[in-house]
Amino acid sequence: MDAENWHMNEGKQQILSALGYLVRQRRIGLGISQEELGLRANLDRTYISGVERGVRNPSLTALVSLANGLGISVSLLLEHLEIEANRIQ
């Protein structure tokens, strides 16, 4: 893998990790389990786990479902995404 592709993959991983952190923080703040979030979002608990660990790259429709399950808008869910991604560096 060349340096440009490596950097792009590293940036992607930071974004996914930041998203996972934001989902986890909101879920914990609500006091609900991954299973409960899955039920609310109509997504499997293992999928929620993968998102929170930064190993899943959720589609736009999955992001909408996650946000709905967390009781917030997608824009609010993603509001601090870049800040968290930069913090992960």
Report yes or no: 24 and 52 within 8 Å, Cβ to Cβ: yes
* Token reading at 44: 């499997």
Residue range(s) defining the domain that contains residue 75? 3-88
pTM confidence score: 0.89
Question: Quick one: pLDDT band at residue 17, thresholds 50, 70, 90?
Answer: very high
Residue 66's pLDDT is: 98
CATH number at residue 31: 1.10.260.40
Among residues 24, 17, 25, the alpha carbon closest in space to that of 85 is found at 17
Number of domains in the chain: 1
Report yes or no: 54 and 19 within 8 Å, Cβ to Cβ: yes
* Tens digits of residue pLDDT in 34-59: 999 999 999 999 999 999 999 999 99
